[in-house]
Structure 1
């Protein structure tokens, strides 16, 4: 890996972090209902991808997350992390036939894996506070500079284009702020729902809705403009205000929101990426709840469980 060497403990920890990242992304794609987004039930607002597209993407990315965790443990520069991410993105696009399934996760979850690798190198526990601190202390300056340059440069992606046009907070801005939406909104919502006794599935829906209610999701704006973003935020916010997954008919309500998003072709992919990161932190944090994936994954069709096992072990 770029001439870097690691002891056995560091390699084992990096593999653990990488496998957890794959499981978190699988937890996200297997979730249903998930308004506007692809699941194993349907294609959401998309005509060019389905659940199998995401499985191919996960298979292509399975080696990336341990590699970037190893680079993080070594304290590599942000340029090295960025190079690993670009290589992983290229593998993803080959596997999906050019379809962007996990670009946001390659960036965001990749940075979290790198931060966790650095925590292990410093013998520090993997907690939200430590993750944010080590991210900023190791790569914060580079992330801030990257966000500044991106705001001023000619856009190279749809997300950058709409972020510039409407003055929205991009994924790069979120990273430069040590993932404030993830740690201030999504993760607390997920862990609170689990503490209430909600199932893994319900807790993830609660966290996703809480995220959609506040996130400047450039994926949504690209498809539906600012009007679409406000519709997503208000729909999700109303669901949370009415009691979220503690309502007896929460499943029907969430599926109705899904239908409305599909009708408007709205797809909050940014929120889905943040949810996957929250699942990853919840599994690995010392304060984790009992296996946040077990209840829902165990009830999935056996072929999908087999697919996840193949992705993790290949």
Structure 2
């Protein structure tokens, strides 16, 4: 009946297609989850009879309608998904499935790596075996313990857990969760963990993997979805730890912090205390460290970052997390500038403004490309040649930006200004005192004075032709308008509905914007400042929309002002 068939791509971005897939999965007792690709087989009436998806290295949402299950479609569907995985560079593919389907997947080269009552996790490579072989190289004699932590970011609470664990073991293995958290990548978190306990001889930070609290073994952890599916995934995750990871390291005790607020993590701890002892592994629950009567939590740090307060985040974050906090706050500032809608002549959610080579999605890609370098600037060792390292990272950031945007200069000015401030702030931070405006300005001036002048940029040509200050000279002067005008104004109005927009208008009204000068000359630049002053003095949303329309039609883009708006937000968050 199904001898002739065609496996087709099903684009879930199309509402009709997505609804069709959701209905099909629901009829087969499943629900649609996040996937990179979804493919299916339809009958002659275009009715979906088989479908399956792939998300990175995990096959999921695989179903075959009851009347088609004898047609051998499952194997053909999975073979196609495996091909897609190979094309995407994904190896060691994994699949959650019911125990009764083990033979089908075994015939396609999959083997069981974890079991729970209602499900099994299978893999078609030797990834788990290789990972455990690597872990085994780190085995130590004596009583060995393990901690699996997300540490997004690392806090004093994590440090306390490790300190308490070390009191009762000869060696402690710290395994970071491998999944990236927005603003806190696995690479950065691993480096923070390794640096934090560099001199603690008992502690060894192991590499993370898809086999311990990952989106492969425990996807609902990242959705905070406490359900039957979550419980099954917890069991599979703990089964892998008990039967593979712990034996590889010689671990006989696992440490966890108590969980007073998150129901899913609390349930995970309960299952851990039930399952691991069955495999001879003790579970020790350490009371959470508290600050001002509240548990110290990475989620509180992330909340402080989201609200733009470095000082509140830093109060409970480990010092090794500082560069991550600075990078996350830089990302927040750039996103706030981009998301501000409407903006005169600039890319926003409504459109591209005066630009024909940029749009919202391109700007998003650019931000993602440059923020890791701002984080890196905040990581520069004070004993190194800080100005040279900063400039080198800035050049690399520009190269990454151009690669991400197809050669379009989206954030060159922001790389300089936010990178300079991030570097200056970090250098002040490592000097050991709370960073204030005076110290930050002084460090900005010193670093900017060590940066050589450019000769071939648009900004340099404008400065030479029109005797304008430009970005470098503004920095060498310590950004006087930023600290005297823009930052106090922003702090006064930021709680207002249009506070960010009003701050942009203030900046446009005062800044000698080299972007406008380069494209339109001094007469138009002065007219732009005058229009912004008038719009701010007699503010209304209609007036702003009129300016937006005029700037767009006349090709006026105050890009330098956009950079300074992001810098103002960034400065406020670092000093708040």
What's the TM-score once normalised by structure 1's chain length? 0.79
Question: Where does 1:207-246 land on structure 2 (aligned, <5 Å)?
Answer: 207-242=503-538, 244=539
Question: Where does 1:1-314 land on structure 2 (aligned, <5 Å)?
Answer: 7-8=195-196, 9-71=318-380, 73-74=382-383, 76-136=385-445, 138-143=446-451, 146=452, 149-150=453-454, 155-194=455-494, 197-199=495-497, 202-242=498-538, 244=539, 250-286=540-576
Give runs of ≥4 in structure 1 deviating > 3 Å: 4-11, 72-76
Q: Is the 8 A contact 2:448 2:472 kept in 1?
A: no
SS in 1 for 2:378: helix
Q: By how many angstroms is 1:78 displaced?
A: 1.2
Q: Is the 8 A contact 1:115 1:131 kept in 2?
A: yes
Q: What do you get for the CA RMSD once the two structures are aligned?
A: 2.1
Larger radius of gyration: 2
Matched residues, number? 265
Higher helix share: 1
Whole-angstrom distance in 2 between the partners of 1:72 and 1:253? 48
Whole-angstrom distance in 2 between the partners of 1:130 and 1:176? 14
Whole-angstrom distance in 2 between the partners of 1:11 and 1:99? 34
Q: By how many angstroms is 1:73 displaced?
A: 4.8
Whole-angstrom distance in 2 between the partners of 1:178 and 1:7? 33
Residues 147-187 of structure 1: CA distance to partner in whole angstroms, max 9, x if unpaired? xx44xxxx311121111100011001111111222222221
> 1:292 — aligned with what?
none
Q: By how many angstroms is 1:276 displaced?
A: 0.3
SS in 1 for 2:566: helix
Structure number with the bigger relative contact order (C-alpha 8 A, sep ≥ 6) is: 1
Residues 253-312 of structure 1: CA distance to partner in whole angstroms, max 9, x if unpaired? 1111111111211100000001001111222323xxxxxxxxxxxxxxxxxxxxxxxxxx
Structure 1 residues 122 and 60, CA gap change in structure 2 (3 angstroms): same
Q: Is the 8 A contact 2:420 2:448 kept in 1?
A: no
Whole-angstrom distance in 1 between the partners of 2:403 and 2:328? 21
Q: By how many angstroms is 1:62 displaced?
A: 2.7
Q: By how many angstroms is 1:10 displaced?
A: 4.4
SS in 2 for 1:162: helix
Q: By how many angstroms is 1:130 displaced?
A: 2.4
Structure 1 residues 73 and 54, CA gap change in structure 2 (3 angstroms): farther
Q: Is the 8 A contact 1:212 1:232 kept in 2?
A: yes
Q: Is the 8 A contact 1:57 1:92 kept in 2?
A: yes
Whole-angstrom distance in 2 between the partners of 1:99 and 1:126? 35
Q: By how many angstroms is 1:127 displaced?
A: 2.9
Whole-angstrom distance in 1 between the partners of 2:470 and 2:459? 7
Higher strand share: 2
Q: What residue ranges of structure 2 are gaps of 5+ in the alignment?
A: 1-186, 197-317
Structure 1 residues 75 and 127, CA gap change in structure 2 (3 angstroms): farther
Q: What residue ranges of structure 1 are gaps of 5+ in the alignment?
A: 245-249, 287-314
Whole-angstrom distance in 1 between the partners of 2:568 and 2:471? 15
SS in 2 for 1:70: coil
Whole-angstrom distance in 1 between the partners of 2:463 and 2:508? 16
Q: Is the 8 A contact 2:420 2:447 kept in 1?
A: no
Q: Is the 8 A contact 2:342 2:349 kept in 1?
A: no
Whole-angstrom distance in 2 between the partners of 1:135 and 1:159? 20
> 2:270 — aligned with what?
none
> 1:301 — aligned with what?
none
Q: Is the 8 A contact 1:72 1:113 kept in 2?
A: no
Q: Is the 8 A contact 2:424 2:447 kept in 1?
A: no
